[in-house]
Amino acid sequence: MSDRDDFIYDEEESVKFIQNYLPQELKGRFSNDDINYIVDLIYDFYESRGYLNDDVDDEEDIEIDEDELIEYVVKNAKKDGVGKFEPEAIGFIVQGELEYCDSINMFD
């Protein structure tokens, strides 16, 4: 079993974590469904770039272009008719998701 299998990712806990992570001016602007949708888009982005492939070397550092990720989320949310999200707000959700993953040692 690899270290990657040791963490337990919980969608509900991720959403709670992100809701708490958002700055005061963004609290209440995103429903739990909005956040789940945005997190799904984050992982779609990772998958489209090959970051989730089994053949990725665990020792290799993956550099994620956060601006590209945010642009991907904003573009796809608009295309899917889910909403027109501002890049700055999406950035806080991306950061919240990264912090949640770090809190469960997902990247160790």
Q: Provide the residue-wise pLDDT of the chain in tens; the chain has 108 residues.
A: 344 445 588 999 999 999 999 999 999 999 999 999 999 999 999 999 887 776 655 556 678 889 999 999 999 999 998 888 899 999 999 999 999 988 988 766
What is the distance between the alpha carbons of residues 19 and 35, in angstroms, rounded to a whole number? 8
DSSP secondary structure letters along 25-58: GGTTTS-HHHHHHHHHHHHHHHHHTTTT-TTS-T
What is the distance between the alpha carbons of residues 96 and 54, in angstroms, rounded to a whole number? 25
What would the two tokens of residue 68 be? 């590209």
